[in-house]
Amino acid sequence: MTNFMPVALEHASRLINHGPTVLVTSSNGGRRNVMAAAWSMPVEFTPPRIAVVIDKNTYTRELIAASGSFGICVPGAALIDLTYAVGTTSGRDIDKFDAYKIQTVSGPVLGVPLIEEGCAAWLECRLISEPHTEDAYDTCFAEVVAAAADPRVFAHGHWNLDESNGILHTIHHLGAGKFVRASAMQQAKPLGE
């Protein structure tokens, strides 16, 4: 397992601003769950805030509402099968952490279960209560209270994707169990040179 390095909160939005599929972790009162989500994005810089779409009828949403917190873990390409599995099974039926042998670390601020092995990064999030929308919308808003990343792919506030770290390249869901991975990073050059 790698040693994740803290990410400055002013760079936390860069961990998900390129639209990766994420794993949403949650727990409350000894119950826990992990699910896949294809729609997440940063919405504010300072303090860092994100939005993630989580169906209001899911077990994950129930745990998040009860605890007021959740984790966003950014799986690498090595976790495509796991990401699909946790996205197509219900935590009401099985403990996915046990069933799929997922190891977690405890978030440093809120104690949220977070996944590092096979992931490029994680964000520990505090739910922002939106009483007028909670029953009507699937979108959850949260403040990022801690973030960390594997320095092989994200360091000094920037992604670095190359052939040496392909198993940690972020994945993007296309539907029906099909994913693409981020790759072939290319540096922009000033025009006119």
Tens of pLDDT, residues 152-177: 999 999 999 999 999 999 999 988 89
Q: Tell me the three state secondary structure of residue 81.
A: helix
Phi, psi (degrees; rounded to nearest 5) at 59: -60, -40
Q: How many CB atoms lie within 10 A of CB 6?
A: 10
DSSP 8-state class, residue 193: -
What are the structural domain ranges in the chain?
5-181
> Looking at residue 136, what is its pLDDT?
75
53 DSSP β-pair partners: 139
CA 15, CA 122: separation in Å to the nearest integer?
8
Q: Tell me the three state secondary structure of residue 137.
A: coil
CA 94, CA 31: separation in Å to the nearest integer?
11
CATH number belonging to domain 5-181: 2.30.110.10
pTM above the 0.85 mark?
yes
> Looking at residue 2, what is its pLDDT?
66
CA 136, CA 147: separation in Å to the nearest integer?
29
- Residue 123: left if φ>0, alpha if ψ -120 to 50, beta else—which one? beta
> Looking at residue 175, what is its pLDDT?
87
Q: Which residues of the chain have pLDDT under 50?
A: none
Q: What tokens appear for 86 in the block?
A: 């946790």
